[in-house]
Structure 1
């Protein structure tokens, strides 16, 4: 029987896969497998696929065409492992605050992914260190957790 993953474990699998996919897009899919096969908390087997969910998050991020170049550079410049979560959270909130239509949790999640994509393009070594801060930020943000759970869990988060 497959083990059931908690929300936190699912988040870690998704963020790890997402960053690996961003940093190594040509890597064979088999070599990127993170062994996150599971039954969801609702007991349904086979619905949780971190590759599909990471793809949806990337599509969500693509909806945000705002210029994040300067913000990505600020993350890189200010980055320390101790401050990583605070820096990410501050920068994403700042980007969302610039446009009142980006006040939702969905926008926050999309902008977070978009920012990490930009950081990965400029400084892959820093992007690799963002798995834990991103996972922690999502898991500890009740608004984001409630949004994801309200959609039916990670496996139901859609880009549209």
Structure 2
């Protein structure tokens, strides 16, 4: 049974919490929560966050990533954090960095948003909570329905 949108939103928040925790900090792998999940679900926020972190590390090495971040910094000076974050992700996705025919556009958005989110967290630790909120809002708004249709985060974890 596919999860509903509320479960996917909850999963997204759990993934972001794991993604933004220091890599050295221990985070339990057992999920406690008020939401009931399908027992056949392969959802583990720590594993998904680790995969997103690896994707982000790869994107961080690409010169086009720096260009997208420079544009994000300019935009952030004049727009709200969420709008600037979304613009930065879209710019990165439009560059050749994320343009691969074998990758679904939704997965490109997930990868780019994780890379930008981690970059901002590491570069501007004082903005960590704002970036987490912007990342969660972006993922839920732009790919939440797609993740739900695919069966939840456990089914679409980036590789």
Q: How many equivalent pairs are there?
A: 148
TM (normalized to structure 2)?
0.73
Q: Verify the 8 A CA contact 1:19 1:128 in the aligned structure 2.
A: no
What is the 5 A alignment of 1:1-160? 6-20=7-21, 24-27=22-25, 29=26, 32-33=27-28, 36-37=31-32, 43-44=38-39, 47-64=42-59, 65-67=61-63, 68-75=65-72, 78-79=75-76, 83-99=80-96, 101=99, 104-141=105-142, 144-160=143-159
- How far the C-alpha of 1:48 sits from its partner, in A, is 2.6
Distance 1:125 1:34 in 2: 27
Q: Verify the 8 A CA contact 1:57 1:110 in the aligned structure 2.
A: yes
Unmatched segments (≥5 aa) in structure 2: none
Q: Superposition RMSD on alpha carbons, in Å? A: 3.2
Distance 1:151 1:60 in 2: 20
Unmatched segments (≥5 aa) in structure 1: none
- How far the C-alpha of 1:147 sits from its partner, in A, is 3.4
Q: Residues 46 and 111 from structure 1, CA distance in 2 versus in 1: closer, same or farther, beyond 3 angstroms?
A: closer
Distance 1:148 1:10 in 2: 10
TM (normalized to structure 1)?
0.72
Task: Pick which of 98-107 and 122-131 moved more.
Answer: 98-107
Q: Residues 120 and 77 from structure 1, CA distance in 2 versus in 1: closer, same or farther, beyond 3 angstroms?
A: farther
Higher RCO structure, 1 or 2 (CA under 8 Å, sep 6+): 2
1:78-137 Cα shifts (integer Å, max 9, x gaps): 547x71111111111012112382571111110111112222232111233211111111
What SS does structure 1 have at the residue aligned with 2:99? helix
